[in-house]
């Protein structure tokens, strides 16, 4: 599950919105910055619905 940063059509318009894809998204290839992946907790990710707010998150480097 890749994690990337959302933006508008303008390349320098990224905000604090992030996305997690549950399946391949070829339309996003070479257009959006992917900077990580979900390596555990996929069951929790699959329960997130549009509009949910994530209050905290831990990012570990591997």
**Backbone torsions φ then ψ of 38, nearest 5 degrees:** -80, 120
Q: How far is CA 37 from CA 10, 33, 41, 43, 56, in A?
A: 24, 12, 11, 14, 17
* pLDDT, position 14: 63
Give pLDDT tens digits along the chain (62 positions): 777 777 777 777 766 677 888 888 898 888 877 888 888 888 988 898 888 888 887 877 77
Give the count of beta carbons closer than 10 Å to the beta carbon of residue 18. Answer: 14
Contacts of 1 (CB under 8 A, 6+ apart): 20, 21, 22, 37, 38, 42, 45
* pLDDT, position 43: 92
Is residue 36 a contact partner of residue 59, using CB atoms and an 8 Å limit? yes
| Ranges of each domain in the chain | 2-45
| pTM of the full structure | 0.56
């Amino acid at each position: 599950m890749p994690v990337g940063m959302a933006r508008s059509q303008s390349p320098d318009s990224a905000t604090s919105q992030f996305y997690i894809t549950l399946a391949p998204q070829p339309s996003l290839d070479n257009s959006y910055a992917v900077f990580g992946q979900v390596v555990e907790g996929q069951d929790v990710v699959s329960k997130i619905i549009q509009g949910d707010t994530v209050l905290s998150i831990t990012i570990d480097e591997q």
